[in-house]
Amino acid sequence: MNNQKLYKGSLQTIILNLLDEKGRLYGYEITKLVKEQTQGELQITEGALYPTLHKLEGEGVLQVEMELVNNRQRKYYSLTKKGRLEKVKRLEDLARFLQTMEGLIAPKVKA
């Protein structure tokens, strides 16, 4: 969790992928899920998450449903049609990025 710099740029991809897997999630839930799934390695801060969700919603990539649970307001996000297309593109980009980085930092391992 000390290499947060590297995660810069991948937050949107992570969100799109998670929402595609889970169907719908609310913000707070996303932070907990990611922390759990990465064994604490990645801590998404709320200061980063909420603005990103609003941005993706504004772009028509995400849609929102409000729900009152336990007298607390939740905003459930899910992918729109556009969001599902965008998610495919992002995952392709990420896969290529990961491949490239592995090729760059460990060419000896490959050979």
Partner DNA sequence: ATATATACATAAGAAAGTTGGGTATATTTT
Partner DNA sequence: AAAATATACCCAACTTTCTTATGTATATAT
Site for a copy of itself, rule CB under 8 A: 2-3, 5-10, 13-14, 17, 34, 37-38, 41-42, 91, 93-98, 100-105, 107
For residues 23 and 111, which CB has a smaller minimum distance to DNA in the complex? 23
As measured in angstroms, the least distance from the Cβ of 10 to a copy of itself is: 6
Contacts of 75 (CB under 8 A, 6+ apart): 26, 27, 53, 64, 65, 66, 67
Q: Would you say 74 and 93 are in contact if contact means Cβ atoms under 8 Å apart?
A: no
CB of 32 to a copy of itself, least distance (A): 14
Q: Of 72 and 108, which has the nearer Cβ to DNA?
A: 72
Q: How far is the CB of 98 from DNA (least distance, A)?
A: 16
Residues 32-51, interacting with DNA (CB under 7 A): 32, 44-48, 50-51
Give, for 26, the enclosing helix (H) or strand (E): strand 25-26
Please tell me the chain's helix, strand, coil percentages from 3-state DSSP, rounded to the nearest 5. 60, 15, 20
72: its two tokens = 């607390």
User: What is the per-residue binding string for DNA in 1-20, x denoting contact by CB under 7 A?
Assistant: ---xx-xxxxxx--------
